[in-house]
Structure 1
Amino acid sequence: MAKKAPRRTAERILEVTLELFNRFGEPNVSTTLISAELNISPGNLYYHYPAKEELVNALFMRYESALQELLGAAPGVHDVEDAWFFMHTLFELVWQYRFLYRDLNDLLSKNRRLETHIKDALLHKTTAFRAVLDGLEHAKALSMNASEREVTATHMVVMLTWWLSYEYVRDPRHALEPESAEKSLLRGAKHVLGLLLPYATGAHKQHLAALLAAY
């Protein structure tokens, strides 16, 4: 039997860096710590990623690719169940790359490339949420005019993007720990979906209310 090819060092570096960034926050993780955690020399790390900024950019590219794929499903949301699944999937991605959201202001202040791409990500989120609301309104699950859909889409993006910051302020010692993930994600999804409740119609309103009550 052929031996499995060892994972490429660059891949391992990104995986461990993501774990450390998520656990301690990007500003608190040095390249020295990363190389020690990987049990490789700083020179080996430098060979693959000459600066910590390049690690951040590489991880963001992965996040951005996954986000674009998820947001591409927005036009297929036609009922409350679809919206529930869509929202949960987005929050799971946010949690997977939570260091970006935890340290967003700090990252933006020192990374011009990230600044540009984050703006694009916000725009894509807004467009996707607008598509979700358009689909739900077209399916008669919501009753909203164009202005209401625009405002609500923006509110949804703001809440999705800064939810983990809110959780962190509420409980700095535990909010971003792995054991807090499920409750944090559920609370976030509940509040974002709750924005739709005043506009939900008939049986869709009852279904959405039941889903929210189950959180």
Structure 2
Amino acid sequence: MRLPPEGRTARASPDRYRTVSGSSNRFSMTALPQRCSASGCRPRRRSANWSNASTVCPRPPGLPDASASDRPVGAAETAASRKAGPRPGVPLKTRDRILEASLQLFNEGGLAVVSTNRIATEVAMSPGNLYYHFKNKERIVDSLVRRFELRAEPIAASLPTVRSVDDLWLSLHLMIEVIHAFRFVFRDADFLIREYPGARVRVRKFTGSALEATRLMCANLAACNVLEAAPEARDAIAFQIVFTAACGFMFSKLLPSGDIAAAADPGRAAYQILTLLTPYLDADSRHYILYLRSKYRT
């Protein structure tokens, strides 16, 4: 998907923008241009002409670099290799090929219906060869959930440091990208927590920590006078943010429109979260969020 015209500036390098596949014509997950507050809790006052925004918001503390977030992470990798990532031009290891293929199949077909034989066929190997690398399907699921954690936990951990609407939007955007990339985790949560005890513990732990981090983020934004809501309302907002990000895809599939492409679009969740937040933001932040929200409906 193409970057909005106002984002194509000399300062915008390819690594600063990312696009999530599967977007419909209505919602867009293309990263948007930002204006940032250099200091203080309140965002800098911006001009009314939002379309002229051209500067790019730096990542909040603790967020991973977008260009490195898609690298494969195998269960057998050491801490050093995880940090370095694969070198350009070096073929994926067999374990990583299996994990990449499994992730795609789980996302597209569903965790319950994809068998190890189907995965072996996808990577053009015998079932026996696949079992050499992963003893069973549960080991594959556990490895993918660990990969999800490695990408999502740094973003969730950064949420309590959010002090402006710029960082708020960017953190939510990145989290929705990761959840969409591993959407089988929450879409097939009922099957996952019933069949895979190890993955169940990890997913429940992450969900609880993400909810607590979002609550702290809302409290911090309220202390900075960016979010105007009482404590009880802030807790409800935090719950709805996590719920929409994690479960919005599954709910969208139940809508009577039957538009599978639109239901699979992570931009739908981003739009709904920004809409949820809009009434509770201070006037300056509200105008900026309305501008950002409109970019998800292009």
- Which interval holds the TM-score relative to the shorter structure? 0.7 to 0.9
8 Å contact from structure 2 (residues 105, 114) kept in 1: yes
Match of 2:173 in 1: 88
8 Å contact from structure 2 (residues 177, 266) kept in 1: yes
Q: Secondary structure at the match of 2:140?
A: helix
Which whole-Å CA distance do the structure 1 matches of 2:260 and 2:249 have between them?
12
Match of 1:61 in 2: 146
Q: Which has the higher contact order (CA 8 A, sep 6+)?
A: 2
* Inter-CA distance 5–208: structure 2 relative to 1 (3 Å threshold): closer
Which whole-Å CA distance do the structure 2 matches of 1:125 and 1:163 have between them?
16
Match of 1:206 in 2: 287
Percent identity (aligned): 29
- Could you tell which deviates more after superposition, 162-171 or 11-20? 162-171
* Inter-CA distance 164–122: structure 2 relative to 1 (3 Å threshold): same
8 Å contact from structure 1 (residues 167, 175) kept in 2: no
Equivalent residue in structure 2 for 1:124, among 199, 204, 209: 209
8 Å contact from structure 1 (residues 88, 185) kept in 2: no
Match of 1:44 in 2: 129
Which whole-Å CA distance do the structure 1 matches of 2:186 and 2:242 have between them?
13
Which whole-Å CA distance do the structure 1 matches of 2:236 and 2:162 have between them?
19
| Alignment gaps of 5+ in structure 1 | none
Aligned partner letter, 1:195:
L
Q: CA RMSD in A?
A: 2.0
Q: Secondary structure at the match of 1:26?
A: coil
Which whole-Å CA distance do the structure 2 matches of 1:22 and 1:116 have between them?
20
CA distances 1:86-125 after superposition (whole Å, capped 9, x unpaired)? 1111111011101112211111111122222222111111
Q: Which has the higher helix share?
A: 1
Which whole-Å CA distance do the structure 1 matches of 2:177 and 2:113 have between them?
24
8 Å contact from structure 2 (residues 160, 214) kept in 1: no
| Alignment gaps of 5+ in structure 2 | 1-88
8 Å contact from structure 2 (residues 160, 213) kept in 1: yes
Equivalent residue in structure 1 for 2:196, among 91, 111, 122: 111
CA distances 1:41-81 after superposition (whole Å, capped 9, x unpaired)? 11111011111111111100110121111112213322222
Equivalent residue in structure 1 for 2:231, among 143, 146, 165: 146
TM-score (norm 1): 0.88
Q: Secondary structure at the match of 1:28?
A: coil
